[in-house]
Structure 1
Amino acid sequence: MFQTRPARFVLFPLLGAALLACGTVPTPAPQASLSAQAASAACDGGAFRVVVGGVTYQGNRGFDIPVPAGARVQLRGRYVQFDLDGDTLSAYDYVMTGAANSLDMTGGVRTPVFASKVVDLGGQKLSGTLKASISDAAIVLERRGSSAKMKIQAKDCAQGGIFQMEPEAGAPLTVTHTLAPGMYYFKNPYTGKINFGNGTNFRGKDSPQMATLTLQGEQVSVWSVQSGGRMGGVLGEDAVELSAGATKCVQDCQAQNQIRGTLPVTDPAYSN
């Protein structure tokens, strides 16, 4: 297995860099690169609950959730946990819990993945009701401000396309990803793509659409995201597929990018 520690990045600017190739991103539908059975297995028993101000919202239905200024929105699932800043829907403390699953990548160990995924709304704050829609292992959250809108899609699964952030503000916005301690970005020698991991078979990848990478470091990536574009994240086999990348779309975009035929998986962590 590919256990050796990959070469790390030295921080360098990539102003005007081309899009990184991206994999499948999260939607309520199964991921195209996995069989329906495998996708279901990755999400087996998954279900988010939302906690705001000590009040819990859960179950397969929609909610209009009041969020006081400065409050944190807690997302708690079987496999995935993270917090959102209610004012911007920036994400913090994204963790894989290590819950038992046949497609678990953590070895049963609680594994912090991202310290933060922060969107710069240029000083704007979201102020409307937080709309949450929970459906089995998937959740969609939306909140608006005076001239900005944020949408988060997430799945409570052991791997696959399980997170997506969609900012809209009429102009490009900066999104900064900071990995948790122990995680680092590396160039995968088997695919040539930029992955992140922790020296084990854990694999992840940032998944952009209409977003330009402006800075890549060992633990930080910075993106300029067009209004209506998105920053997603994929884990596991989806992160190492030799896919062509996302199409260009900023309005009424489909979260999934359908795969025609099959894609090769060359990373030994998933190809054996």
Structure 2
Amino acid sequence: MLQTASLAAAALIGLLAGPAPVLGASSKFCEGGSWSTLGKTGGNDRFRGEVDAPSGDFKVQGQFVEFMIDPATFAIYNYAWLGKENVGDMTGRQYTNIFASKVPDHRGANLTSKISLEIKEEVIKISRTGNGVSMTISAKDCAQGGIFQMEPERADNTSTRIVHTLADGAFQYDNPIFRSNLGKFMGSECVSEAGPAAEACVQVRPRVNIGAAGRPKMVLRDSAQVASRLPQPECGPDFSNNLGIGGETRDYCGGMSIWDVASGGRMGMVTGEDSVEVSSPPDVCVSDCFPGDHPATGELAVLGFPDPVPEEVKLKPFMSEQGFDIPLTQFSTTIMAKGCVDQSSVHFRGVRMPRCTMD
């Protein structure tokens, strides 16, 4: 176990490292976005249909981002920003590979059907099924925002393990600006820093963000829905707080993470302002989910991120072999039926969901 970092020291770092400017969320971030893949494109006219699956990896090409898909598993490789000019550009007009891979373990099952494809302007949805398993990739071709998600489903309702690996130069860190404000309630509906909580008055919790060397404006984070990250104890530093706030940063590597995702849950990604706003954990959603699709009615606080990111808050080492032998997380079946969890269920992002009233 790496040495535990003190809350006071981390708070001081957060105060000294000035926040990088963050642009407000805007549809302008998607202007000019469009996709092409498997010989199909989507402009003003929607394409919706089935196409034959290729024998090898295929590229999903946007104007702002691109990535490769393994048709047998729907693993994602080389998710990168292209550096296209846009008011929301986070790359400094440079090609920037952030994710080397996002790989689901289907435990021997493969996807075998034709590929279902839907494209319209900046939105794409790609699905494929197999023997007892299906996968859907949804993405938006935008400079930033809630722009990607992976949704596994299994006939046996067990979870799917997904391993994220960052590309060279990308790194995960404990955001010191969030840490220096831990416990405060922030947002347009707050009457004080002590709360009470409201839809647009949310308590600040620890936040792990992703940055990239040489890209001071680049910021994003994983956005999990009905999913649980697995601990990797040799990674850290481990932070702690005396405020009773859950979801603390610990056992977290700098360049990888392992997630168990419920059948019908999702592993999403939010970038830019969306990744540094003080928001509540995602709603429990197992159908037609997308990061940022359920915004608060008021205005959420945006805390930003440090520029540069202090070395003390970067999570290390980059990789670890630990965590893979942990048994699959078992999610309550009542999640799918009622949008709640029973007493035996896991916490989601450090928050226990409301108990179900069983019929």
TM-score interval w.r.t. the shorter chain? 0.7 to 0.9
Question: 3-state SS of the aligned residue for 2:34?
Answer: coil
What are the within-5 Å matches in structure 2 for residues 103-252 of structure 1? Answer: 103-169=88-154, 170-191=157-178, 192-199=206-213, 200-215=216-231, 216-250=252-286, 252=287
Report the Cα distance in structure 2 between the residues aligned to 1:68 and 1:132, rounded to whole angstroms. 13
Q: What amino acid is aligned across from residue 258 of structure 1 in structure 2?
A: P
- Counterpart for residue 49 of structure 2: 63
Asked if the contact 2:102–2:164 (Cα under 8 Å) also holds between the matched residues in 1, the reply is: yes
Report the Cα distance in structure 1 between the residues aligned to 2:77 and 2:303, rounded to whole angstroms. 32
Q: Deviations over 1:126-145 (max 9, x none)?
A: 00010110011000011000
What are the within-5 Å matches in structure 2 for residues 44-123 of structure 1? Answer: 44-51=31-38, 56-59=39-42, 60-69=46-55, 71-123=56-108
Q: What amino acid is aligned across from residue 297 of structure 2 in structure 1?
A: R
| Bigger strand share | 1
Query: By how many angstroms is 1:249 displaced?
Result: 2.9
Query: By how many angstroms is 1:247 displaced?
Result: 1.5
Q: Which runs of 5+ in 1 are unaligned?
A: 1-8, 11-32
Query: By how many angstroms is 1:68 displaced?
Result: 3.7
Q: What amino acid is aligned across from residue 84 of structure 1 in structure 2?
A: I
Q: Deviations over 1:170-227 (max 9, x none)?
A: 2111001101100000000112300000141210100000000003311001101111
Report the Cα distance in structure 2 between the residues aligned to 1:61 and 1:104, rounded to whole angstroms. 27
- Counterpart for residue 6 of structure 1: none
Query: By how many angstroms is 1:73 displaced?
Result: 2.1
Q: Which runs of 5+ in 2 are unaligned?
A: 3-22, 179-205, 232-251, 308-359
Q: Deviations over 1:9-60 (max 9, x none)?
A: 97xxxxxxxxxxxxxxxxxxxxxx955xx22x10111101003xxxx21123
Report the Cα distance in structure 2 between the residues aligned to 1:268 and 1:183, rounded to whole angstroms. 15
Query: By how many angstroms is 1:259 displaced?
Result: 1.6
> How many residue pairs get matched?
233
Q: What amino acid is aligned across from residue 113 of structure 2 in structure 1?
A: G
Query: By how many angstroms is 1:267 displaced?
Result: 1.5
- Counterpart for residue 264 of structure 1: 301
**Shift in CA distance, 114/254, structure 1 to aligned 2, threshold 3 Å:** closer
Question: 3-state SS of the aligned residue for 1:211?
Answer: strand
Query: By how many angstroms is 1:253 displaced?
Result: 4.7
Query: By how many angstroms is 1:269 displaced?
Result: 6.5
Question: 3-state SS of the aligned residue for 1:202?
Answer: strand
Asked if the contact 2:150–2:267 (Cα under 8 Å) also holds between the matched residues in 1, the reply is: yes
Q: What amino acid is aligned across from residue 118 of structure 2 in structure 1?
A: S
Q: What amino acid is aligned across from residue 205 of structure 1 in structure 2?
A: R
Report the Cα distance in structure 2 between the residues aligned to 1:198 and 1:73, rounded to whole angstroms. 26
Question: 3-state SS of the aligned residue for 2:283?
Answer: coil
Report the Cα distance in structure 1 between the residues aligned to 2:170 and 2:51, rounded to whole angstroms. 33
* TM-score (normalised: structure 2): 0.62
Question: 3-state SS of the aligned residue for 2:177?
Answer: coil
Question: 3-state SS of the aligned residue for 1:231?
Answer: strand
Report the Cα distance in structure 2 between the residues aligned to 1:83 and 1:268, rounded to whole angstroms. 29
Identity of aligned residues (%): 35
Q: What amino acid is aligned across from residue 226 of structure 2 in structure 1?
A: M
Question: 3-state SS of the aligned residue for 2:230?
Answer: strand
Which has the larger Rg?
2
Range with greater deviation from structure 2 (59-68 or 133-142): 59-68
